[in-house]
Amino acid sequence: MSTETTSLLDVRSAVLTRRSIRKYKKDPIPEDTLREMLDLAQKAPSAWNLQPWRVVVVRDQATKEALKEASFGQAHVAEAPVVLVIYSDMRDTLENLDQVIHPGVHGERREAQKAGILKAFEGKSSEALEAWGAGQTYIYLGFLMLIVRAYGYDSVPMLGFDPGRVKAILDLPEHVAIPALLPIGLRDEEGFSHHRLPIDRVTRWH
C-alpha cells in the first residue's frame, strides 16, 4: 500500500472514519507501508523538538502472544498483524541533544540551547522525566493513529497492560515510560460510531 499506488484519506475523512478496532484481519502490512506511516508520524511536534518517543514494531507472533499475556489476555494484541509499542526515553534524548537541535543552529547559540534544555530538566527524577516525555509522546500517538487510518488501516490505543512485563519481553530499559500499545491492521469489525461531547460542552469562547 504505497503512496504511489494508493489514494490516502484526507485528514477530515481519516478523523471521521477512525474507530477503536479490536478485531483485525490477518492480512500483513507491507514493511514499506509501515515505514511510510512511521516516517510521517515522526513529523509530530514536541517541546524543544526533543522527540522523546521510541517505537518497537512487533510482527513476530510469539512476541505478540507474550504481549497479549502482559495485556491481561486482550485478544487483539495477538490477532493484529502488527503491534506498535510506543515508549518515551528521556535519558537517551538528553544524552543525545545534538541529534534533535536543528542543524541550522550553530556555535554559541547551539551550546546555549543545549544548556537551557539540560537546566530545565536538572534535578528531576527519572519518573518525572519520563512522565514529561510520555506527555510529548501522546502527541506523536495522536498523529500516528490518524496516519494509520489515512492509509486505510485501523488501530486502538491500549493502556491496559503491565509495563514491567512489556519491558521484560522487549528488553526495554527499566527507566522508560510506555504510554500505549497500538495494534494496527485491517479492520474485521465496524466498531462503535463516534459518541463525543458537543464542542460547546468542552469549549469556552472569549
pLDDT tens-digit readout, 18-28: 999 999 999 99
Contact 55, 86 (CB under 8 A): yes
3-state class percentages of the chain: helix first, strand second, coil last, to nearest 5: 45, 15, 40
Euclidean distance between CA atoms 46 and 147, whole angstroms: 17
Burial class of residue 92 (count of CB atoms within 10 Å of its CB; 0-12, 13-18, 19+): middle
**In the numeric block, which cell numbers belong to residue 114?**
543545549
Helices 31-41 and 126-150: crossing angle in degrees, nearest 10, is: 120
**Average pLDDT of the chain to the nearest whole number:** 95
As a whole number, mean pLDDT of residues 155-169 equals 97
Give pLDDT, residue 7. Answer: 86
Model confidence at 68, in pLDDT bands (50, 70, 90)? very high
Give, in order, the Cα–Cα distances in Å from 97 to each of 83, 114, 117, 184: 29, 7, 9, 31
- Residue 120: strand, helix, or coil: helix
Cell for 162? 503491565
User: How far is CA 55 from each of CA 2, 24, 76, 110, rounded to the nearest angstrom?
Assistant: 21, 21, 19, 28
Label residue 6 by pLDDT band (50, 70, 90): low
* Cβ-proximal residues to 45 (8 Å cutoff; 6+ apart), any chain: 139
Is the pLDDT at 107 greater than 90? The verdict is yes
CATH class of the structural domain 11-188: alpha beta
Q: What is the reported pLDDT for 30?
A: 97
Query: Can you tell me the distance from the alpha carbon of 206 to that of 198, in angstroms, rounded to the nearest whole number?
Result: 18
Count of alpha carbons within 13 Å of 121, Cβ hemisphere only? 23
Task: Look at residue 184 in the predicted model and tell me its pLDDT.
Answer: 98
